[in-house]
Amino acid sequence: MHAQFQNRRYLIPFRARLLPQIFCDTLVIGSGVAGLRAALAASEHGEVILVTKSDVDRSATTWAQGGVAAVLETTDTDDAVESHIQDTLTAGCGLCSPSVVEQVVRSARPRIEELLSWGMQFDLDENGRPARAREGGHRDHRVLHAGGDATGKEVVRCLSSRVCDAPAIRIFDHCFALDLLTTSDSGNGSVVGAITHHPKYGLQVIWAYATIIATGGSGQAYRETTNPPVCTGDGVAMAYRAGAALADMAFVQFHPTTLYVAGSERALISEAVRGEGAYLVDRRENRFMVGRHEMAELAPRDVVSRSIIEHLVETGETNVFLDARHFKPGFFQKRFPGISQKLAQFGIDPADDLIPVNPGAHYTIGGIWVDDAARSTINGLYACGESSCSGLHGGNRLASNSLLEGLVYGELAGRMSAECRPTVNGNGNGNGGRAGLSESSKQIISDIPLSDRGELDLHDVRSSLRSVMWRHLGIVRDGPLMDDVREMIEFWRRYTLDKIFDDPKGWEVQNMLYVCSLICESARWRRESRGTHTRADEPARRSDFCVHDLWSRMQRPEDAPACVPCAGDAAADSDAVVGQGHEG
């Protein structure tokens, strides 16, 4: 990796002591399910500031349609919990951390009961209990949903109204977190807060004993994506600059069914549509998934996405279709009101028309490496939700497990952040109380020399980067083509990371360059095919790659990543050709 990339510690030059100073006990960055839940838990032991770069409800969480995977043991047997655990491990292709899977799946019930007690309105079945749908990779009906296909919106409504009512939480919206502040630049210091930018108040320093990153994924790194514009990987990039380890960056989940209307913004067509019985067909109305996988349309997402791409190559067509014309009259509109509305905007009536779809980047599996208490590899920094990599999803995420992870790890991160507060014995993250925190401020200085290199058009860099990522680091990858991408990113980095920008558009492109570069490095290093990571030149799964690959700014550019052996399911890791293996 280029030295410019390795060495850059902060995106902007500053003297911390000259900026406005704000103090809190816990700083939470991001207002999706993970950040909102983390803020609530942290507010039980101290003052919290929650910053979010847009409106509070602008997040992937708000866009979530299908639901939350959860077994409620009050109505289900322990076998049902075991089966959820097993489905998660199977989808993860040998790379899940089994203890994390168990912890998350077993925590589903208390987290959901808590939501219910806070007024969450799940859709109910005829017995008045939360109705349960089935999605790809799930053997049982266990996906709870709200408003038909508006689960995320209801989760955000429920959590954010509670956050707004919590006296210990202050919300700073439209406040962009630029970088984490650390007591040392060499990766062995503690995180003591963040530098932020607000259009009205400018740059500010927010000091905190603990900082929780909950900034979501980086789907915007791809031209075709289901993600909202806020998903640019900022938190992952800032954690990397601060010295935290990132893991499994090669793994990006592609959703098989994104509405494909040329020229329009892509929109997700939930997996639940297939769960309710819709078929995937081609232009000749041939159900091409039948015979490719025993679960046909409900095979895990990587299998379905790859099959679509293969089928398009075979047929020369531009997209495939969802066929829901056999649904009972009125059912589609009732079960999927949001999707129906979106389709109506393009004159598509699912009762009469096929729905044109294609895959798109959907979920960032890799991210900030955290332990089973949501701690990153540096003191004072926690991460939860899509910006983190906890080992829950392994090599592929089971549908509807991410809202669940956000709830479970959000609560955990918020609760665990209490350990950073100074005690009378001097424990905590070593900052010595508020006086100590502000003392740190005097020492934090960022100097960035002015560059005399030429300027690139930022908009062009952004769109070229997204295109090349989609073409060569998308669903099927190939070693030599990824080498070319690496060189292109290297070039853009050289002319972009040497510059100093003064608004989020520039900072987001810089962050995307970090994230794309790390996805590329990890994907080149992983000489196998597993889960969402498929290499045409390395089609077999290799047991010597059954490890989490960790990347940090501290490693030398020529070094291989640190590898953490995966305590995964050995049976699920036998060498297998992708598509015929154990994906579900």
Ligand X SMILES: Cc1cc2nc3c(=O)[nH]c(=O)nc-3n(C[C@H](O)[C@H](O)[C@H](O)COP(=O)(O)OP(=O)(O)OC[C@H]3O[C@@H](n4cnc5c(N)ncnc54)[C@H](O)[C@@H]3O)c2cc1C
Q: Which residues are catalytic?
A: 301
Kindly state the DSSP code that residue 536 receives in the 8-state scheme: T
Tokens of 165: 């009512």
Place of tokens 């853009």: 492
Tokens of 299: 């095979």
* Rounded-to-integer distance, Cα 297 and Cα 274, Å: 7
Kindly state the DSSP code that residue 379 receives in the 8-state scheme: B
Nearest residue to 352 (alpha-carbon basis) of 322, 328, 324 = 324
* Rounded-to-integer distance, Cα 51 and Cα 29, Å: 5
3-state SS class at 508: helix
- Non-local (6+) Cβ contacts of 126 within 8 A are none
- Using a CB cutoff of 8 Å and minimum separation of 24, what contacts does 439-442 make? 440/16, 440/181, 440/183, 440/192, 440/207, 441/16, 441/17, 441/21, 441/205, 441/207, 442/16, 442/17
Strand partners, 49: 27, 170
* Rounded-to-integer distance, Cα 472 and Cα 215, Å: 25
Decide whether 34 or 519 has the Cβ nearer to ligand X: 34
Tokens of 57: 């409800």
Identity (one letter) of the amino acid at 124? L
Return the percent helix, strand and coil in the chain, to nearest 5: 35, 20, 45
Tokens of 245: 């380890």
Evaluated on CA atoms 394, 396, 398, 404, the torsion sign reads positive
Decide whether 65 or 534 has the Cβ nearer to ligand X: 65
Residue 353's Cβ-count burial label (10 Å; 0-12, 13-18, 19+) is: middle
* Rounded-to-integer distance, Cα 511 and Cα 241, Å: 10
By beta carbon distance, the residue nearest ligand X is 32
Decide: 276 and 259 in contact? Cβ < 8 Å.
no
* Rounded-to-integer distance, Cα 162 and Cα 165, Å: 5
Using CB under 6 A as the criterion, which residues of the chain lie in contact with ligand X when the complex forms? Answer: 29-35, 51-54, 58-61, 63-68, 151-152, 176-177, 214-216, 226-227, 230-231, 234-235, 268, 363, 385-387, 400-403, 406
Decide: 495 and 453 in contact? Cβ < 8 Å.
yes
565's enclosing H/E stretch is strand 562-565
* Rounded-to-integer distance, Cα 67 and Cα 272, Å: 9
Nearest residue to 26 (alpha-carbon basis) of 242, 212, 216 = 212
* Rounded-to-integer distance, Cα 390 and Cα 292, Å: 31
Decide: 283 and 321 in contact? Cβ < 8 Å.
yes
Evaluated on CA atoms 548, 552, 554, 557, the torsion sign reads positive
